Structure 1
Amino acid sequence: MMHMQQSHSSAYPERPYSRSHKRSQSSSAYETIEVPWKQVAYAFTWAAEEQFMKGNRRPLKTEEWVREQQHIYTSQETFRATSPPPRSTPYRTEEWDDIRNIYGMEADLWMRQEEQARRLTEEREKARARIQDEVRRIDAQLRHKRECEKRERDAGRRRAHAEQQEKERRDRAKLEKLIINAWTNYESRWKSLVSSTEPLEFKKIPWPLIIPPRNTNDITRDALVALIFSPLHSQDQSRKDRIRSALLRWHPDRFRRLIGRVPLKDREAVEEGVGIVARCLNELMEKEKRKAL
């Protein structure tokens, strides 16, 4: 038995617990450590053989402990194999510095972009305000120009109206003066005509017209009415009285005593003119009589 124990002792020499530090071929940060339960396994194997030789089949508590150690270290080895290598503190500090620098640069870039966008917005607002001010200025100028043009047009219309009224007033005054002068000449020439013996040419006869006629075509009823019915003379006579006074002068039987003084070259025209005046006066008298009915 002692010999067997010695043989077992020599067959399973005790291996002291040791730890070796080796680098892996991939130069990883892990260290290869010879786990302690492997040394226990040698001891347990020797103890198990001794128990077997003695006939003791009951499991040993040492076996359970070894299995537990195997499970623990196997789990740790699996976790280390699947986990990334640990980073050293300087590396992690440098990484955090890089991250902070990156985020800082991104923040600076974002702030610059925001500042640029803000400046662009302000410039657009200023440009829009300048454009609006320019539009308002131009609109004000246009309104002022239109108002000035309107005032000028109104003033021009007022001046034109005033000038027209003044012209009409002057024309009316001139016409009134012309009518008064024509009536005065008409009456005075008829008075001198009776007492005179001078020849009566067509143009020297006092025709009852405002403007002396050049020929018989100028002797019309309207021309007679303009002078005979004018309100600028004979205000105390009615229209019938005026017609009656004119017929006493222009009736052909009464005018025949003057026809001998008319030259032969004008006699036909004078007789025709006297006939036209007499007919117009008779028509006016008939019209006045119809109005009186």
Structure 2
Amino acid sequence: MASYLGGIPSGSSSASSYPWGYDVGLNKSSFWKIGAVPNKYAFRSPPPFAKGYFAIPPTDEPSQNTRSFFTSTPPEEPQDEPEHEDDAYQEPSTPEPESPSPEERQKEEARLKRLEQERAIAEAGEIDWVRSGGILRDADGNRDLTRTNAIREELHLQAEEKRLREQWDTYQKRWQAIASSQEPLHFKDIPWPLPVAPGSVEEMTQEKIEDFIMSPLKIRGNKVTPKGRLRGSMLRWHPDKLGAVVARVVPEELEDVKEGVGVVFRCLKALQDKQVPG
């Protein structure tokens, strides 16, 4: 009995020269359809279709990388992105430094106080050296003219402030002495607002009076305003306020004193008119 291979007799030459499903009795350019034409060499009927080509066996756990269409796992909720890039970065928290103990705090305060005292002593030594005509030197031994000139300017400013302060204090004390005395007065006894006591009315000028009244306001730390200084001076030199003082002037110098009071008051009034309120 002839054996069959794929529905074609093995003894036939067609079994090795034609592919499966090719009918040797048909034209070589066409394929036959399975089951359409009876043929003794036809294939067996294929098994009935069961699950189809895309049947996927169930697995115990779905893959982590691929979502299964047969699972009902809800999708992950979208997370809000930061509005700014800086919001996405959080600096690591740093522990707060420990507060120093009372003993450590006292030691630090003592150290700072000692350094301040040493600095004050060193500065005092430099000031004395420059005051005596010396020139400071830097750490390399070179002449430090910058620091030397700065100290010289400071010494000059201190001397000027001292002169103005003493001049104003003397002026105030002289007025207090007149108010507490009943002795007769001469022209030279009146505390005129001038750096040097004038010998006559002609020596009283607007420039000298303004310099004497306003210069003390340049002293560092002064809290008196120009407006306040002028107001107080005008009250003092108002002719109506000086009646008791003028009455004590000796008769031969009375007219000179009255004229001098008028000159001072007019200068103060002119100065007040041009001053900016302050």
Question: Normalising to structure 2: TM-score of the pair?
Answer: 0.41
Question: Normalising to structure 1: TM-score of the pair?
Answer: 0.39
Larger Rg: 1
Structure having the larger proportion of residues in helix: 1
